[in-house]
Amino acid sequence: LWLCKKKPPVVTIMGHVDHGKTSLLDYIRKTKLTTKEFGEITQAIGAYQIEFKEEKITFIDTPGHAAFAQMRARGASVADIVVLVVAATDGVMPQTKESIKIIKEAGIPFIVAINKIDLPEAEPERIKGQLTENEVFVEGYGGNVVAVPISAKTGQGIDQLLEMILLTADLEELKADPAGVLEAVIIEAKSDHFCGPTASLIIKNGSLSKGQQIFADGVEAKIKMLKNEWGKSVEKVFPGDPVLVLGFTSLPKVGVKVTPSKEGQGATFEEKGFSKSVQETGKEKFRIILKADVSGSLEAILGCLPQEVSVIGQGVGEVNDSDVLLAKTLKAEIYTFNLEPDAETRKLAQTEKVKIKNFNIIYDLLKELEERILKILEPNIDRKILGKAEILATFEMKGEKIAGAKVLEGKINKSQPVILQRGEKELGQVKIVSLKQQRQDINEAVVGTEFGAVFSGKVDFSSGDMILSFSLEEK
Ligand code: GDP
């Protein structure tokens, strides 16, 4: 009987464009291949396996841009370990930040590879500082995230990187049961003239043999042939192995789970992983991907977003499939400004149940967001406004910022929460820690009177802003 055995770690490379992901994969493939004879053969799968210090490591490759976009959205969940590549010249860039978010959401162990250190302008220490600003704390900078300086050009540091991958795999105790129930993930799918629909999988548990029947989210396959990454036919594959499967009845979707029966279908691995990590963090934010027609409007919207919104992706230009997949993976909604998605992306969004909302007025977009947040944070509760006051002046005393305000409507009660508002924009919700009239502590300021208030919470305010006192009532 087989028991759980150590399995080769499955590794994905993430990071900003041009930071050297492809070069790193190429270098490792070129120098660490198990069998020399495969050197001349084209790789058949977007993944390959190497042997280093007598241990196997599977790298998920990223052939072509479209596939890479999908893998970026879903790749993190297939992988056991992520290598985050950051160029020592450019440093942390937008896609680096996006990758950090995905990695953290997925809760996957990762290693930072600071690449291009062969270049004279490389500044690895500066990059470590930038990573700290993005809450990636590497060794020597208040944390224990491993950062390996490498050059995908000269090969410097690559052995160390591979060693760190194996060490991380050991620490994570990556195990699988080769005799257990099959679990695999589709990493690519394409139709071939000769072979019909084919898909590449990574085995996570159990094994897969020729003749076996499998299901991938409703798509069935009776396996006609299994091929390894070098196109060679194989009889059986095990956890950690990449494999090309022939025999699907139609094209399965990338990212879906493969099982030996129809039961347990429909959920992809990342969905489980991500919802778990959201629960663990406790404070759920409303996640969006924001896209706008021009950078001016994108910046303007980003500058006005309510605190409760977490932007997990942003950009100028049309919504594409990778935005939709990223939104699905991270349970986000897509908000666009002056952009209509094309029919195909809309269709994908429909099947993946991702909401895309377009606006032509920034104010409308922000208003919609605020309404959504209220619904999410307090689904069955309405705010009842008890009073309004206008801030006439602000001053500082003993390091505290005081709002001098006048009640315009109703009353401001010290025990109720208040919202600070600038025009139509909500600055945030705070509590009143001190409420005074002529140096006397009071509990309530009524309409027409002036008062001074100190708030708890880090919301900045200035004269002209409104204070809204409210109570929460069940619907
Ligand atoms: P990707 O977009 O992240 O896959 O980046 P590429 O691997 O395509 O690399 C982008 C550019 O940087 C290419 O011109 C590479 O030759 C170059 N490059 C990648 N790694 C290194 C490195 O370690 N040193 C130097 N000098 N150039 C590198």
Token representation of residue 261: 């029966």
Least confident among 126-130, 162-166, 280-284, 312-316:
280-284
Max avg pLDDT among 31-45, 135-149, 276-290, 413-427: 135-149
- Give me ligand 1 centre to Cα 169, in Å: 26
Q: Can you tell me whether residue 262 is helix, strand or coil?
A: coil
Span 411-439, average pLDDT: 89
pLDDT value for 40: 53
- Higher-pLDDT residue of 271, 396: 396
- Give me ligand 1 centre to Cα 26, in Å: 10
Residue 311 has pLDDT above 90, yes or no: no
Max avg pLDDT among 29-33, 164-168, 427-431: 164-168
Residue 427 has pLDDT above 90, yes or no: no
d(CA 63, CA 46): 6
Residue 75 has pLDDT above 60, yes or no: no
Is 409 exposed, middle or buried (CB count within 10 Å of its CB: 0-12, 13-18, 19+)? middle
pLDDT value for 265: 47
d(CA 287, CA 293): 20
Please give the number of the atom of ligand 1 that sits closest to the Cα of 23: 7
pLDDT value for 113: 98
Residue 266 has pLDDT above 50, yes or no: no
C-alpha triplet 329, 332, 338: angle, nearest 5°:
125
Residue 93 has pLDDT above 70, yes or no: yes
Q: What is the dihedral of CA 300, 301, 303, 304, to 10 degrees?
A: 120
Residue 34 has pLDDT above 70, yes or no: no
Residue 271 has pLDDT above 70, yes or no: no
Residues having CB closer than 6 A to ligand 1 are 17-23, 115-116, 118-119, 151-153
pLDDT value for 68: 43
Q: Can you tell me whether residue 290 is helix, strand or coil?
A: strand
Mutate to test the pocket of ligand 1, among 23, 62, 85, 151 (most ligand atoms within 8 A of CB): 23
- Give me ligand 1 centre to Cα 19, in Å: 6
**Residue 418, beta-bridge partner list:** 430, 469
Span 210-215, average pLDDT: 93
Per-residue pLDDT tens digits for 376-385: 766 666 778 8
d(CA 293, CA 271): 30
- Give me ligand 1 centre to Cα 125, in Å: 20
Least confident among 150-154, 301-305, 437-441:
301-305
pLDDT value for 1: 40
Span 204-225, average pLDDT: 91
Local confidence band at 217 (pLDDT 50, 70, 90 cut-offs): confident
Per-residue pLDDT tens digits for 179-200: 888 989 888 888 877 778 999 9
d(CA 277, CA 35): 39
Residue 372 has pLDDT above 60, yes or no: yes
Helix (H) or strand (E) segment spanning residue 357: strand 356-359
221: CB partners within 8 A, 6+ apart: 199, 213, 214, 215, 245, 247, 248, 249, 252
Local confidence band at 232 (pLDDT 50, 70, 90 cut-offs): confident
Are 226 and 240 in contact by the 8 Å Cβ rule? The answer is no
- Computed over every residue of the chain, the mean pLDDT equals 84
Give nearest CA residue, ligand 1 atom 11: 18
Residue 473 has pLDDT above 80, yes or no: no
Percent of the chain with pLDDT over 70: 87
pLDDT value for 46: 81
- Give me ligand 1 centre to Cα 116, in Å: 7
d(CA 52, CA 165): 10
DSSP 109-177: -EEEEEE-TTSTT--HHHHHHHHHHTT--BTTTTS-B-EEE--TTT-TTHHHHHHHHHHHHHHHT-EE-
- Give me ligand 1 centre to Cα 442, in Å: 65
Local confidence band at 269 (pLDDT 50, 70, 90 cut-offs): very low
Token representation of residue 144: 């224990």
Please give the number of the atom of ligand 1 that sits closest to the Cα of 19: 3
pLDDT value for 52: 93
Residue 410 has pLDDT above 70, yes or no: yes
